[in-house]
Chain A
Amino acid sequence: MIGHSEKVWLLLIGLTLAGAVLGETGHAGWPLTLTVVLLIAIKGGVVIDHYMEMRRADRRFRNVLRLFVTLIPLLVILSHGWGEWIRKLTTIN
């Protein structure tokens, strides 16, 4: 019988393979970016909540970890849609 941790492992492996197939298709643009953003947020969240058992832990600690896997996807969206703005912001004249 497949237990909870086995289901979580299968989910993570399945999402990883889906991401790898996506990478091999050579697609680019917003659909790929948004898919990658979702994959990072979902897989990161699953590891934090189920592998690290933070779902039942002190919320402050969990929130810091969740913030990490939320901020990074937001930065991916920012860099894809507003890369020129980041470039100007980080250019030293």
Chain B
Amino acid sequence: MNGAYSESIPARRGDRADSTPPIPGNMGIWVGIFCVLVEFFLLFLVYFVARSHHPEAFTSGPDKLVTLAGTAITMFLLSSGYCMVKAVDAIRHGNRVVSTRWIVGAILLGFGYPLVKYFEIRWNVAHGIDGEAGIFYTVYYYLTLNHLVHVSWGLMGLIWIAFRTGLGVYTPDNHSGLEAAALYWHTTDVIWLVIFPFFYILR
């Protein structure tokens, strides 16, 4: 393995002796983040192709979906992300207990997503909107459930990080693992910020 990549990555600007801008988290998480971005970019291409072939379906499709559900998911994810920003900030200031509390807050808010999704899908199915209701809904289920899978991985990561932070594994000088989990979590935000208007707003 290349020595430059195997060395630990400093958590903050100023941790390095030279003036090279820092890379938050660790290299492993960035490989994962870039893979996720490429994966969803390809999935979005499927959305655009399907949209161009069935413009009517994509114009009327959002009318039957519950905009409130998509909005609630967005708010849960953004608020959970805010908690992770505070958690990283707290550990940088040496506040392990405060950081753990913020991570627990991020987890609780994060679980709002699968909860809303569960009720949204129940509502959809009760109103005849299943995976075979039309091309718009097929793409909608494919993309949103795929995103839910990635969020589930993120939630599992946050639970792991909460335990480690609570146990005092991370310090102001060494918390790249906590930063890495936060970065992955924020990446799921970025992707959802694209999915939300695609299925609930755009016509």
Contact = CB atoms under 8 A, between A and B. Distances in A.
Interface of A: 5-6, 8-9, 12-13, 16-17, 19-20, 22-24, 26-28, 32-33, 36, 39-40, 43-44, 47-48, 50-54, 56-59, 61, 64-65, 68-69, 71-72, 75-76, 78-79, 83-84, 86-87, 90-91
Contacts of A68: 37, 41, 190
Contact of B34 (A26, A43, A64): A64
A68 B34 CA distance: 10
Interface of B: 13, 20-24, 30, 34, 37, 41, 44-45, 48-49, 51-53, 55, 59, 62-63, 67-68, 70-71, 74-75, 78-79, 81-82, 84-86, 89, 182-183, 186-187, 189-190, 193-194, 196-197, 200-203
Task: State the majority secondary structure of interface residues on A.
Answer: helix
Interface class of chain B by DSSP:
helix
Given A68-B41, A75-B44, A83-B55, A19 B190 contact: no
Given A12-B78, A16-B78, A87-B53, A48 B71 contact: no
A10 to B, nearest CB: 10
A59 B21 contact: yes
A20 B202 contact: no
A86 B75 CA distance: 33
A47 B71 CA distance: 17
A47 B203 contact: no
A6 B48 CA distance: 35
27 contacts: A8-B85, A9-B78, A17-B71, A19-B196, A19-B197, A19-B201, A23-B67, A23-B197, A27-B203, A28-B203, A33-B202, A40-B197, A47-B81, A51-B189, A52-B183, A53-B24, A58-B21, A58-B23, A68-B37, A69-B193, A72-B41, A75-B45, A83-B51, A84-B52, A86-B49, A86-B52, A91-B53
Contacts of B187: 52
A61 B190 contact: no
B44 A32 contact: no
B51 to A, nearest CB: 5
Contact of B190 (A48, A78, A91): A48
Contacts of B23: 57-58, 61
Given A40-B197, A84-B52, A86-B52, A52 B202 contact: no
Contacts of B82: 5-6, 8-9, 51
A51 B49 contact: no
Given A24-B67, A36-B202, A75-B48, A52 B186 contact: yes
B194 A44 contact: yes
